[in-house]
Amino acid sequence: MIVLQIDPLRLDDALDQVLEAALAPERWSAVLERICEATGSFGAHILPLRGKFSPGVPATPSLHEGFEAYFREGWYLQDIRFGCVPHVLKKGVAVEHDISSEEDFRRSAYYNDFLGRFGFRYSAMVGFTTGDTLLSLGLQRTIRDGPFDREEERVLVRMRSRLSLAADIMRGVSLERLDAMSNAFDMADIACAFYDRHGRVTRLNKLSEGLLDQDIRLLQGELTSRWPEESTALRGHIKAVLQSPAIADSAASSPVRLSRPGRRPLIIRAQRLRGMPAEIFSHSVAVAVITDLEDRPVPTGKVLQLLFALTAQEAIVATQLARGLGPKEIAEALELGYETVRTHTKSVMQKTDTKRQSEVAALLSGIRLSSVRKMD
C-alpha cells in the first residue's frame, strides 16, 4: 500500500487560499507555507519557467538563505533542474527522478556543494501559465523527507488550473493599475513607456506615441534611435534598472539622450514600479519617463549663475547643454575651441553635481523659472 506524504484535503484548502493571495499578494508567503504543510515539503517558491529572473520571487522563509546563495554564488548559472522544463511542458509536472539518478546525487556539485549544504535533495515542479508567461511552483524536500513519487505527481498536476487562475487574477490587477498609471501620465502631460521584466516595451502612452518618428522608433518591443550607440545606451539603462539598485549603478541612475536632427533631443529616465504584484505575475515592472526638451523652456544664463554659482561663460555653455547640444555643437555655435567647451562642461557638471551631459540637460531643463526670484 502506497502512503502519500501529500494530504489532498489540506492541499485543496491551501489552493483555495491561493486565490485569496491573488488579491492580497502579501499573503503569498503564508499560502506557500500551507502548501508545504499539505505536500510534505520543506519549502516552496514560484519562478518563471523560462527566461531570466531576479531575487525577490515569492518563496517561503525556509528557502531565503538558499536563494541568497543561489544568486550570490552563481548556482543559477548551472542549475540542473532547468532540465525539468521539457518534462513540465509535456506532462505539466516534473519530479527529481525525471532528470537525476542516484549516481547524480552522489557526484553532482549542485546536489552536494549547494543543495546538500542546506539539507535539500528532492523537488517537484508544477507548471502553470498566465498570458504568455510560463511559471512553475517548486516544492523542495530534504534528504530525510524522501522524493516525490509518481502517485504524488498525479495529485500535484491537479494544482495547475487554480494556480493559473490566481496568476491570471494578479496579472489582471497589474493591468488595471497600469491603465490608471498610463492615464495619469497623459493627464499630467508626461510621455512614458512601460517595460516588462525582460526589458521589452509593453505599452506607450498617447504622448510617447506622438514622439515616434523616423529617428526614434519602436522595433520588436524596443525603443531605438537612428544612432546605434544611443540605442545601446538605452538598452543598458533599462537592463540596469531592472537588475540593480539604481543608487548603486551609474547606468541605472543616469538618463539617456536620444537625438533628433534639427530639434532638441529626448531625455529618458527609467525606474522600477513599486507597489505592483510580484513581478513574475505583472504585465509591466518598470516605467521610463520621456522628457521632450523641445517643450521645456531653457533657463537664462543669469538664472543659472544665481542657482549654481557658474561663471558667465559657464552659464552660456550650460544653456546650450540644456538645449541638448553636445560639446562639438556648442563649440561651433559659440565659435569657441572644443577643449575650452569641454573644460566649461566639466565645471558645469561639477557645480550641478551631475556626471553626464544628459543629466545636465534633464536637470537644467526641469528648472521652473517662476520659482526663481528675479535678480536686480
- Same domain as 161, residue 38: yes
Cell of 159: 494544482
Split into its structural domains, the chain has a count of 3
Which of 294, 321, 350 is at the close of a domain?
294
Measured between alpha carbons, how far is 326 from 319 in angstroms, rounded to an integer?
Answer: 11
- Same domain as 287, residue 364: no
- Same domain as 15, residue 107: yes
Cell of 96: 527529481
Look up the domain containing 148 and give its range: 8-169
Q: Is the pLDDT of residue 347 over 50?
A: yes
- Same domain as 133, residue 22: yes
Banded pLDDT at 354 (limits 50, 70, 90): confident
Banded pLDDT at 48 (limits 50, 70, 90): confident
Q: Is the pLDDT of residue 2 over 60?
A: no
By mean pLDDT, which of 35-49, 133-147, 328-342, 353-367 is the weakest? 353-367
By mean pLDDT, which of 129-143, 229-243, 293-307 is the weakest? 293-307
- Same domain as 262, residue 141: no
- The rounded mean pLDDT for the chain is 85
- Same domain as 273, residue 342: no
Taking alpha carbons only, the member of 287, 254, 267 closest to residue 353 is 254
In a domain, 160, yes or no: yes
Which of 262, 294, 326 is at the close of a domain?
294
- Same domain as 265, residue 126: no
In a domain, 184, yes or no: no
Query: In angstroms, what is the C-alpha Rg of the chain?
Result: 27
The predicted structure's pLDDT at residue 375: 40
pTM score of the predicted model: 0.66
The amino acid that residue 151 corresponds to is E
In a domain, 175, yes or no: no
Which of 269, 294, 319 is at the close of a domain?
294
Q: Is the pLDDT of residue 374 over 70?
A: no
How confident is the model over 114-133, as pLDDT tens digits? Answer: 999 999 999 999 999 887 77
How confident is the model over 323-341, as pLDDT tens digits? Answer: 777 888 888 888 889 999 8
**Residue 344: Cβ-neighbour burial (10 angstroms; 0-12, 13-18, 19+):** buried
How confident is the model over 234-287, as pLDDT tens digits? Answer: 999 998 888 755 455 677 778 898 988 877 788 898 988 865 545 667 778 889
Q: DSSP 3-state assignment of 282?
A: coil
How confident is the model over 64-110, as pLDDT tens digits? Answer: 999 889 888 999 888 899 898 899 999 999 999 999 999 999 999 99
Work out the percent of the chain whose per-residue pLDDT is above 90. 40
Q: Is the pLDDT of residue 373 over 70?
A: no
By mean pLDDT, which of 184-193, 206-215, 239-248, 267-276 is the weakest? 239-248
Residue pair 170/22 in contact (Cβ under 8 Å)? The answer is: yes
β-pairing, 43-48 with 93-95?
A: unpaired
In a domain, 213, yes or no: yes
The predicted structure's pLDDT at residue 368: 45
The predicted structure's pLDDT at residue 228: 94
Which CATH number covers residue 47? Answer: 3.30.450.80
In a domain, 3, yes or no: no
- Same domain as 313, residue 256: no
Q: Is the pLDDT of residue 1 over 80?
A: no
Work out the percent of the chain whose per-residue pLDDT is above 70. 90
In a domain, 181, yes or no: no
